[in-house]
Amino acid sequence: MALVGLITFGGGFALYRSKKASAPATPKDAPAAGIHVRGSTGAALVTIEEFGDFQCPPCSLMAEALKKIETDYGSRLKMIFHHFPLPMHAHARAAAIAAEAADKQGRFWEMHDLLYKEQGTWSKAPEGPSSLFNSYAGTIGLDMERFNKDLLDPTVVARVEADHELGASRGVTSTPTLFVNGVALKPDATNPQGVHKAIDDALKKEPKP
């Protein structure tokens, strides 16, 4: 079963990767900063930055894998999420804006997780996902009046655009794209096993106490 899962993950992921075989060209000392941080609040030894698209199926698989990886490494690991909605996904930008509107009430990660969990439903909604996004907002306990107001807030939209611009400036062209301590993972390493190896390699580089 595990082998089948790995093949499924790898196959689905390959469909959404750029045709370029090389990883984004990025300085190793690229700043690891972002609004949406999960994990260690202290000085984590390893920081993973993800540029993701809520409508991207491999991103949904990666989100699930990263939660397990967070548990495996505990306080040694910090996660940062950046939006990178792809033009090929009609509702990805709207989903990112919904997540940012949820963040205005301190519920970004709850919306993040729910959007990926329910991706197969809202991404195929015949009349668009707006009503479902409202339903998800209610599910995670948001003030609905404020949520709908924040969906139209220019600063919320600007956050999504800023993340996308950041990704483009760092060579991101596809999703999910991961950086481990500022170094981009190659496409063939962007899977649970590759992420584990990159984290372990980064930990080995840390000076001994």
Strand, helix or coil for residue 159? helix
- Among the listed residues 74, 44, 48, the one whose alpha carbon sits nearest the alpha carbon of residue 63: 48
Q: Tell me, what's the pLDDT at 22?
A: 46
Buried b (16+ CB within 10 A) or exposed e, 95-107: bbbbbbbbbbbeb
Residue 187 DSSP one-character state: G
Domains with residue ranges and CATH for the chain: 2-205 (3.40.30.10)
Percent residues over pLDDT 90 in the chain: 77
- Which residue bears the tokens 């600063």? 155
The predicted model scores a pTM of 0.85
pLDDT tens for 81-123 read 999 999 999 999 999 999 999 999 999 999 999 999 999 999 9
pLDDT tens for 175-209 read 999 999 999 999 999 999 999 999 999 999 866 55
Q: Are 38 and 73 within 8 A, CB to CB?
A: no
pLDDT tens for 12-37 read 554 454 333 344 544 444 444 568 99
